[in-house]
């Protein structure tokens, strides 16, 4: 079946053991590098198991791409997401209700559709897959409150086998994924984090003018397409205005209209533009094989974030370069972002008290609560997610929330919020590690591998980074 349906003569390294564990009814956690074939680990069992396989994915573009590929291979796949027309949505509802489909792709937000969820409850679910599973972890680099409920959703669906997939996860994040999803003694496959075709280099810069000139040089000299990551929308806009006069590039950030983001992404995927200037809103699940360079104009908040973004280069296995433009003063940007990440006790109380002022049967928009309390929407959403865990609120589609009992502040959230204090400290530690990566004179690939817990010989070097180049030059001169 592997050859017939997927066109592969044999399994890649690390694929068969987790597939076997799934077919035996167990839970599985897989940590494998980008481009190593994680999708087959759930797609093959989906055809062999008797019930439905549900794949939770954070990105609609990835879902559409996977569904189209599977349909072409004769697999009965269904995708549910917000980009479907009304008729397409009704057809997907019908397919699930009538027992059609071997494999269902959806975003975690789709579980809020109560009518659709009722259809799912009528199906036998054999496998529950969480792609980009680091999003589940509150210790991960891409924590998303919507993922907090996936463990309880798996229980409501009859507690099928759970498969969690990610390309980047430290031991701490792995443990948290297992805990958050309620996985039972999972089989764990880790094939390593090395990407030998990626060259890592850090260019020290004292100001943005020097950064701009380095970016110009890379765009002028590099073959193939690439991504330029920046930390803020303001900088993305400035660079696009400056560079688009001389280079065929696109602009992508979360404040652009959805239609414009989609058009830029499609132009990039089709090779119509050389490079895309983007915030971290771009890239999760992007399956463009021939990205030859990734530039970071500002350093991210963690090695995990950096490796996830830089790892979008060279997915075809051919050489690619990952360039960091390092300026120590940029630390303040990430410190600002980290300061607004988690709610404090006083903010949680304001959110709960504000919702209490509305009738029990009245759903309230998250944006309204945020405006009333002056608590950012991200923080308010985390508070609601915690209240939902305690059965105090219900989430409706469209970002609206409804309380289910009178006194929301009667429940003690202090333990949950104390955890966030620990996470703030952990985030600062990760930021410090990111800066160490930029400043180290040792092999950069080795630094990354050791960060993720991979054992590396003391004298091992990649011979494919700027630090290794400098060492080799020093040896020649000596």
DSSP-derived letter for residue 108 is: G
Tokens of residue 231, six digits: 């930390």
Q: Are 363 and 322 part of one and the same domain? A: no
pLDDT at residue 141 in the model: 64
Sign of the C-alpha dihedral computed for residues 415, 417, 418 and 423 taken in this order: positive
Q: Are 239 and 119 part of one and the same domain? A: no
Question: What is the model's pTM?
Answer: 0.80
Q: Are 228 and 161 part of one and the same domain? A: no
Tokens of residue 417, six digits: 């919020």
Identify the domain containing residue 32 by its residue range: 2-190
Pairing of β 198-204 and β 187-190: unpaired
Q: Are 7 and 57 part of one and the same domain? A: yes
Q: Are 251 and 315 part of one and the same domain? A: yes
Q: Are 29 and 170 part of one and the same domain? A: yes
Q: Are 154 and 255 part of one and the same domain? A: no
Give me the phi and psi of 412, to 5 degrees please.
-85, 110
Model confidence over 98-116: pLDDT tens digits?
888 889 999 888 888 888 8
Sequence-separated (6 or more) residues with CB below 8 Å from residue 125: 51, 52, 53, 54, 157, 158, 160
CA-based nearest residue to 147, from 62, 58, 63? 58
d(CA 149, CA 449): 31
Model confidence over 235-290: pLDDT tens digits?
999 999 999 999 999 999 989 988 898 899 889 989 999 999 999 878 765 678 89
> Is pLDDT above 90 for 45?
yes
d(CA 236, CA 251): 7
Cβ pair 171, 453 in contact under 8 A: yes
Domain holding 372: CATH number?
1.10.10.10
Helix pair 303-310, 444-451: axis angle to 10 deg = 120
Sign of the C-alpha dihedral computed for residues 58, 60, 66 and 70 taken in this order: positive
**Domains contained in the chain, number:** 3
Q: Are 173 and 222 part of one and the same domain? A: no
Q: Does residue 113 or residue 139 have the better pLDDT?
A: 113
Cβ pair 45, 95 in contact under 8 A: no
Return the minimum-mean-pLDDT range out of 272-281, 368-377, 383-392: 383-392
Percent of the chain with pLDDT over 70: 95
CA-based nearest residue to 385, from 156, 164, 62, 111? 111
E-assigned strand segments in 318-474 = 320-326, 364-365, 393-396, 400-403
d(CA 406, CA 393): 10
Flag whether 379 is in a domain.
yes
Pairing of β 275-278 and β 249-252: parallel
Helix pair 303-310, 414-439: axis angle to 10 deg = 60
DSSP-derived letter for residue 473 is: H
């Amino acid at each position: 079946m592997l050859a017939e349906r997927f066109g592969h003569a044999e399994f890649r390294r690390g694929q068969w053991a987790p597939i076997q564990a799934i077919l035996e009814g167990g839970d599985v956690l897989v940590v494998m590098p980008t481009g190593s074939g994680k999708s087959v680990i759930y797609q093959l069992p989906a055809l062999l198991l008797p019930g439905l396989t549900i794949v939770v994915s954070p990105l609609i573009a990835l879902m559409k791409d996977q569904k189209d590929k599977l349909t072409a291979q004769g697999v009965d796949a269904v995708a549910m997401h917000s980009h479907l027309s009304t008729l397409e949505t009704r057809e997907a509802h019908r397919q699930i209700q009538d027992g059609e489909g071997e494999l269902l792709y959806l975003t975690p937000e789709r579980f809020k559709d109560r009518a659709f969820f009722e259809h799912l409850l009528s199906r036998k679910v054999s496998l529950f897959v969480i792609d980009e599973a680091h999003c589940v972890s509150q210790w991960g680099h891409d924590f998303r409150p919507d993922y907090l409920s996936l463990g309880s959703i798996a229980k409501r669906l009859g507690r099928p086998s759970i498969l969690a997939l990610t390309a980047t996860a430290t031991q701490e994040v792995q443990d948290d994924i297992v805990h958050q999803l309620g996985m039972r003694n999972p089989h764990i496959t880790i094939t390593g984090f090395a990407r030998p075709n990626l060259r890592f280099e850090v260019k020290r810069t004292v100001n943005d003018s020097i950064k701009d000139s380095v970016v110009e040089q890379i765009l002028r000299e590099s073959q193939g397409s690439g991504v330029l990551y920046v930390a803020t929308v303001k900088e993305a806009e400035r660079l696009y205005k400056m560079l688009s006069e001389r280079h065929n590039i696109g602009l992508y950030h979360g404040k652009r209209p959805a239609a414009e983001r989609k058009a830029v992404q499609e132009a990039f995927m089709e090779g119509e533009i050389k490079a895309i200037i983007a915030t971290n809103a771009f890239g999760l699940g992007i399956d463009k094989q021939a990205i030859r360079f990734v530039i970071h104009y500002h350093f991210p908040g963690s090695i995990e974030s950096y490796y996830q973004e830089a790892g979008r280069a060279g997915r075809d296995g051919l050489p690619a370069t990952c360039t960091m433009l390092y300026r120590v003063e940029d630390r303040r940007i990430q410190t600002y972002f980290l300061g607004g990440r988690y709610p404090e006790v006083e903010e949680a109380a304001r959110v709960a008290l504000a919702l209490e002022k509305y009738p029990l049967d009245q759903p309230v928009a998250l944006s309204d609560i945020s405006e009333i309390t002056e608590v950012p929407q991200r923080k308010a959403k985390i508070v609601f997610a915690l209240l939902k865990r305690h059965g105090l609120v219900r989430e409706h589609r469209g970002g609206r929330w409804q309380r289910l009992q009178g006194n929301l502040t009667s429940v003690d959230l202090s333990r949950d919020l104390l955890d966030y204090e620990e996470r703030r400290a952990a985030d600062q530690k990760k930021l410090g590690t990111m800066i160490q990566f930029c400043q180290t004179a040792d092999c950069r690939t080795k630094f990354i591998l050791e960060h993720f817990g991979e054992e590396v010989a003391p004298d091992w070097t990649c011979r494919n980074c700027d630090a290794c180049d400098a060492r080799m030059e020093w040896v020649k001169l000596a």
